Amino acid sequence: MIDTLRLTAEGAKDLLERKEVSGDELFAAYLAAIGERDPELHCYLHVCEDPGGAGIPIALKDVIGTRGIPTTAGSKILEGYVPVYDATVATRCKEHGLRVLGKTNTDEFAMGSSTENSAYGPTHNPWDPTRVPGGSGGGSAAAVSAGLAPWALGSDTGGSIKQPSALCGNVGLRPTYGTVSRYGIVAFASSLDQVGPVAKTVRDCAFLYSVIAGRDPCDSTTVESPEVVLPAGDDLKGLRVGVPKELNEHEAIEPGVRKAVEHAIELCRQLGAEVGECSLPRSVDFGLPCYYLIAPAEASSNLARYDGVRYGYRSPNSADRLDMYTHTRDEGFGDEPKRRILVGTYALSAGYYDAYYGQAQKVRTVIAREHAQAFENFDVLVTPTSPTVAFELGGRTADPLAMYASDLLTIPSCMAGLPGLNVPCGLSEGLPVGLQLIGPQFAENALFRVGHALEQAIGFDFVPERLR
Ligand code: GLN
């Protein structure tokens, strides 16, 4: 009997190597778990037929283009779209023998923090189904914590891997901008989008990152990245850990979250790290407004391609071509993409470009410099990943600004192009709290080292209490 709730990818690899289970048995065990729990949780938008093979199963966020497998990005406008080619990350997974279980739910075009913006209905948090799993990659995070996939890929523009991993109690990495190919990914905001792994353990996360990272001639923004070192040590001697005070003392942070994060910081000290305070004074105040200009501006341009001619949905109710474009976009996009297309088009329009988009770009540089300065004295920075634990379904849907505020702590480092790792660091009100580790560019190995040592010291049980 395969316990998919507890089985890590590393554990699955062992079972396969020792021939205790076959690839087919493993795949079937996950399909059975999906059959049992996905009707309640709705992690998957599409479940695949077994492609065969001997490798470990994996789930892919539905913004990742997959040849012959529907790819909707959680939008009605891509309903019925079946890509004719694989995203590079999907190809790399397949080259490593990984078998695609299915495509996971996401906020429409990855715009959101709760997965409630999916045109196909929300995903529920496995720890408490009345709550959100976070977003936009809530489907991948919930699938991993409910044992419906041993690991998964997500995408992160402003926190969509880190924040759902925090709310669902698993490990998620947003890699350094440029280390993982976006070829074949449904584009949201191209200067920010990154693909990354979601897993139960830091080692699984590191391994999956090593599978997908590396230069890709099909994505000219990619570079070769340092070789991944699977973390094994349990001390943090010689490591300098910085605690940015504005991101740790912000009034939006719940007391229970603060407490769990403070405990993790204390553990860093006990494990031998040198811990000190630092400051990112403008990143917190300006990160969010700056992101919500730049990301919509880029989205308004990227989403121009959905016109009813080339992909997916086309409105049947049109008299002529212009009418067809208008109706297709009106009927195909949900409220959040529409809101962002409007904001972004405005911010880029003649007369406003300098005042909004131009200013935001300058602020972005300030945020990047502030982080670079902090890394002159520290190897890794720590903050909470999300100011709160998983919130109630429907709790923030009426107020877009309250929803945007979920990303307060994940956005600044994304704006700076830096890698970030979420590691579960305890419970508050019976729900997971996530610790965000931020490193300088290409310092994924340092994040894995700290994450792994903390994971051992904390001993977080990643199986949701109600499923144990
Ligand atoms: N929640 C943020 C947004 O709505 C980030 C989403 C993401 O990283 N894709 O834009």
- SS3 letters across 226-257: CCCCCCCCCCCCCCEEEEEHHHHCCCCCCHHH
Domains in the chain, ordered, with CATH? Answer: 9-279+369-467 (3.90.1300.10)
158 Cα: distance to centroid of ligand 1 (angstroms): 5
Residue 97 CA, ligand 1 centroid: distance in Å: 30
160 pocket-lining for ligand 1 (C-beta < 6 Å)? yes
- As a whole number of angstroms, the distance between CA 135 and CA 133 comes to 7
Ligand 1 within 6 A of 71 CB?
no
What integer pLDDT is reported at residue 317 of this predicted model? 84
For tokens 């938008």, what's the residue? 45
Rounded distance from Cα 9 to ligand 1 centre (Å): 27
The reported pLDDT for the residue numbered 1 is 82
Which of 75, 160, 165, 406 is catalytic? The answer is 160
Q: Angle, nearest 10°, between helix axes 88-95 and 202-212?
A: 110
Q: Compute CA distances 349 → 298, 341, 342, whole Å.
A: 12, 12, 11
Distance CA 50, CA 38 (A): 17
Q: Which two tokens stand for residue 50?
A: 């077994």
Ligand 1 within 6 A of CB of 111: yes
The CA 148 to ligand 1 mean position distance, Å, reads 24
Q: What is the CA radius of gyration of the chain?
A: 21
Token pair 């977080």 is at which residue? 460
Any atom of ligand 1 within 6 Å of the Cβ of 110: yes
Asked about 94 being catalytic, the answer comes back as no
293 lines ligand 1 (CB under 6 A): no
Judge whether 160 counts as a catalytic residue: yes
Please tell me the distance from the alpha carbon of residue 432 to that of residue 317, in angstroms, as a whole number. Answer: 47
Judge if the beta carbon of residue 158 lies within 6 A of ligand 1.
yes
Q: How far apart are CA 259 and CA 426, in angstroms?
A: 9
Q: Which of 61, 94, 103, 162 is catalytic?
A: 61
386 is catalytic: no
Nearest-CA neighbor of 200 among 464, 8, 423? 8
Q: Which residue among 107, 140, 163 is best mutated to probe the pocket of ligand 1, counting the most ligand atoms within 8 A of its Cβ?
A: 107
Does the beta carbon of 407 sit less than 6 angstroms from any atom of ligand 1?
Answer: yes
Beta-bridge mates of residue 99: 57
| pLDDT for res 310 | 86
Low-confidence ranges of the chain (pLDDT < 70): none
Distance 132 CA to ligand 1 centre (A): 15
Burial status of residue 270 (CB atoms within 10 A of its CB: 0-12, 13-18, 19 or more): exposed
Residue 50: the pLDDT is: 82
